[in-house]
Amino acid sequence: MCKDELQEVLSVEVIRERILALGRQITLDYSGRSLVLVGVLKGAFIFMADLCRAIDLPIQVDFVRMASYGFEQESSGRISFTKDIELDITGKDVLVVEDIMDTGHTIKYLKEVLTLHHPASVRICCLIDKHERRQVDIQADYVGFDVKKGFLVGYGLDFAENYRCLSGVFHLNPGYRPKAFQPSDR
């Protein structure tokens, strides 16, 4: 790994502390209830594993996987499920666990589809919110960190399927991405 390839944005310790705080808040907010956590694959797999153990409630876990075909890797195009939920969420409190909210298209679509199952509630928890890049009207209910810009990798986040297993979150220098992956504001 070249030394200017990655710059640390979130350390292991900072992530750990923030997830414990999120877990405490979620435990309080849903006190006396149970939760279905729906993780968005693949990016949220490590966040999901840590968050579910930071929440002191009865929890069921499920996953979805979505594919988007948009402009320059932006998920503003068509979105489809490549893996749907398997649990029956009717009448249940659902918390979507996502790695990054960027334009917001993915989570807006997922929330609309989950709502069709008539859950008791659907809320969103994202590790990283790039809210300044939002293109549609959707907010996360729980946010780990606000990050203004930059393409991030590690802690589940990938670039072309690489870097997911780094323990922290890093900014990937644009020089290490092919041109097609270098939108001007990232």
158 is an active site residue: no
Q: What amino acid is encoded at 74 in this protein?
A: E
Which residue among 9, 10, 75, 114 contacts ligand IMP (CB under 6 A)?
A: 75
Stretch that binds ligand IMP, among 21-29, 30-38, 82-90, 151-159 (CB under 6 A): 151-159
Q: State both tokens at 31.
A: 């006190």
Number of residues that bind ligand IMP (CB under 6 A): 15
Options 1-9, 11-19, 86-94, 96-104: segment touching ligand IMP (CB under 6 A): 96-104
The reply on whether position 102 binds ligand IMP by CB under 6 A is yes
Q: Which of 47, 151, 155, 170 binds ligand IMP (CB under 6 A)?
A: 151
* Cβ nearer to ligand IMP, comparing 64 with 99: 99
How far is Cα 75 from Cα 94, in angstroms, rounded to an integer? Answer: 23
- Shortest distance in whole angstroms from residue 81 CB to Mg ion: 13
**Would you tell me how many other CB atoms lie within 10 Å of the CB of residue 90?**
9
Amino acid at 163: Y
- Our finding on whether 46 is near ligand IMP (CB under 6 A) is no
Would you list the DSSP string of 142-173? Answer: EEEEE--S--EEBTTB-BTTBSTT-SSEEEEP
37 or 75: CB nearest ligand IMP: 75
Which of 29, 102, 129, 137 is the catalytic position? 102
What is the distance between the alpha carbons of residues 12 and 6, in angstroms, rounded to a whole number?
15
DSSP 24-48: HHHHHHTTT--EEEEEEETTTHHHH
Separation between Cα atoms, residue 41 and residue 83, nearest integer Å: 9
Sign of the Cα torsion 165, 85, 95, 99 reads positive
One character per residue 17-56, x = contact with Mg ion (rule: CB under 5 A): --------------------------x-------------
Work out whether 36 is an interface residue with ligand IMP (CB under 6 A). Answer: no
Catalytic residues: 102
> Which stretches of the chain bind Mg ion, using CB under 5 A?
43, 99
> Which stretches of the chain bind ligand IMP, using CB under 6 A?
43, 74-75, 98-106, 151-152, 157
